[in-house]
């Protein structure tokens, strides 16, 4: 039964209502002594403050047992706990730990069905800690995390805010003008995608003047701490831009957030839906530098030989989903779209990786290695 219905089900004062609701969450989670229950009731914000004594808690225990007698609160699974002498269900277990008694519900019982339970609560805590470190998510997302923390604390578990146990490599992305691009542009981009609306962007290439463009956005992608907006380039206001030079007008483009100066939703122009499955193509690539016109047609068998030292690493932490593994020769075959990001990863491991196929990728790696070696020639 939802917590809001607890008040209407039985005549309880507001303070008793909030206290019983909180005690219910504690008894579901772990063994608690009278002292622990009183301390938590005094400190938690969701419980109306009153005088909490041993007698108060005992009275709340009694009321919980009485309320359990209502068939709306208890099922036939708890018939064995029915106490005929007292005409109530003994659904609160007790044990003695030294001089103190501790209490907990019998397995499976909960007075208020809205409770999450210990397993879900304990799994949510690291999830929240992880998401707290993602910079640039909109305010509504932060509010959702606040609500989740309130729910967890209402379960009787304190969310530790003063100590970070999980650390995520999540550097803040800036534009050339110092704007925190993810925080500025992610919420609006997300809203435009959901509502199928175009976006007007002022784009600043590494070289040349700023460009005013209109884009139908399809996907926001993060790779290696660089965020990009993937969408159809519909309009370019200026002439003779890099988009014209590279024949990108009317095609799907990758627009990194760190190149965007400003972004706003365009309610007037017509949104052009994608004719391809962007997600499926990204599933078959590493990074976003794919040729969207070819899409899945660009998938090839990428065969890589690994050094003895690196092979176990790539078995346990795969480069990508593999097609075949030859453990004897330390060769792994992937089905991938060759991308610049894939090249960079291969090069980052130096002599530890050797591309066997396809020949085009193998040649690119050899050329880039030669160019790198030339840099160090005196």
Most confident segment among 129-138, 155-164, 267-276: 267-276
Residues 72-127 have pLDDT tens digits of: 556 567 778 888 887 778 889 999 988 889 999 888 787 765 556 666 667 777 77
Residues 189-233 have pLDDT tens digits of: 988 999 999 999 999 998 889 999 999 999 999 888 788 999 999
CA distance 318 to 332: 10
Residue 216 host element (H or E) = strand 211-223
| The two three-digit tokens of residue 208, written as one number | 């040349």
Query: Does the pLDDT of residue 274 top 80, yes or no?
Result: yes
Q: Three-state SS string across 297-346, please?
A: HHCEEEEEEECCCCHHHHHHCCCCCEEEEECCCCEEEEEEECCHHHHHHH
- What is the per-residue pLDDT for 263? 93
Q: Three-state SS string across 159-206, please?
A: CCCCCCCCCCCCCCCECCCCCEHHHHHHHHHHHHHHHCCEEEEEECCC
* Residues of the chain above pLDDT 70, percent: 80
- What is the per-residue pLDDT for 163? 56
Instruction: Give one DSSP letter per residue of 26-78, joined into a string.
Output: HHHHS-EEHHHHHHHHHH-TTS------HHHHHHHHHHHHHHHTSTTT--GGG
Most confident segment among 47-56, 62-71, 119-128, 344-353: 344-353
Of 54-68, 211-225, 329-343, the poorest mean pLDDT is in: 54-68
């Amino acid at each position: 039964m939802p917590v809001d219905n607890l008040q209407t089900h039985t005549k309880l004062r507001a303070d008793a209502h909030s206290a019983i609701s909180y005690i219910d969450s504690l008894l579901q989670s772990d063994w608690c002594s009278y002292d622990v229950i009183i301390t938590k009731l005094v400190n938690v914000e969701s419980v109306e403050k009153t005088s909490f004594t041993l007698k108060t808690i005992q009275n709340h225990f009694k009321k919980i047992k009485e309320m359990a007698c209502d068939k709306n609160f208890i099922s036939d699974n708890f018939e064995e706990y029915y106490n005929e002498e007292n005409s109530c269900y003994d659904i609160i277990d007790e044990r003695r730990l030294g001089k103190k008694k501790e209490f907990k519900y019998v397995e499976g019982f909960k007075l208020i069905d809205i409770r999450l339970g210990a397993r879900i609560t304990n799994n949510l805590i690291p999830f929240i800690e992880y998401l707290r470190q993602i910079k640039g998510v909109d305010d509504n997302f932060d509010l959702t995390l606040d609500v989740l923390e309130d729910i967890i604390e209402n379960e009787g578990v304190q969310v530790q805010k003063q100590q970070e146990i999980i650390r995520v490599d999540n550097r803040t992305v800036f534009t050339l003008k110092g704007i925190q691009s993810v925080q500025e542009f992610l919420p609006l981009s997300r809203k435009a995608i959901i509502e199928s609306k175009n976006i007007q962007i002022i784009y600043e290439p590494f070289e040349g003047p700023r460009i005013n463009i209109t884009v139908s956005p399809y996907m926001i992608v993060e790779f290696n701490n660089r965020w990009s907006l993937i969408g159809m380039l519909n309009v370019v206001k200026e002439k003779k831009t890099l988009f014209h030079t590279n024949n990108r007008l009317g095609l799907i483009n990758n627009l990194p957030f760190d190149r965007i100066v400003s972004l706003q939703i365009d309610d007037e122009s017509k949104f052009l839906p994608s004719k391809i499955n962007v997600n499926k193509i990204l599933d078959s690539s590493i990074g976003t530098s794919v040729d969207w016109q070819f899409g899945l047609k660009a998938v090839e068998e990428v065969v890589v030989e690994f050094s003895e030292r690196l092979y176990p690493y790539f078995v346990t932490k795969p480069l990508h989903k593999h097609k075949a593994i030859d453990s004897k020769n330390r060769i792994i075959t992937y089905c991938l779209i060759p991308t610049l990001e894939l090249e960079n990863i291969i090069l980052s491991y130096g002599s530890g990786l050797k591309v066997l196929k396809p020949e085009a990728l193998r040649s690119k790696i050899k050329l880039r290695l030669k160019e790198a070696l030339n840099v160090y020639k005196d």
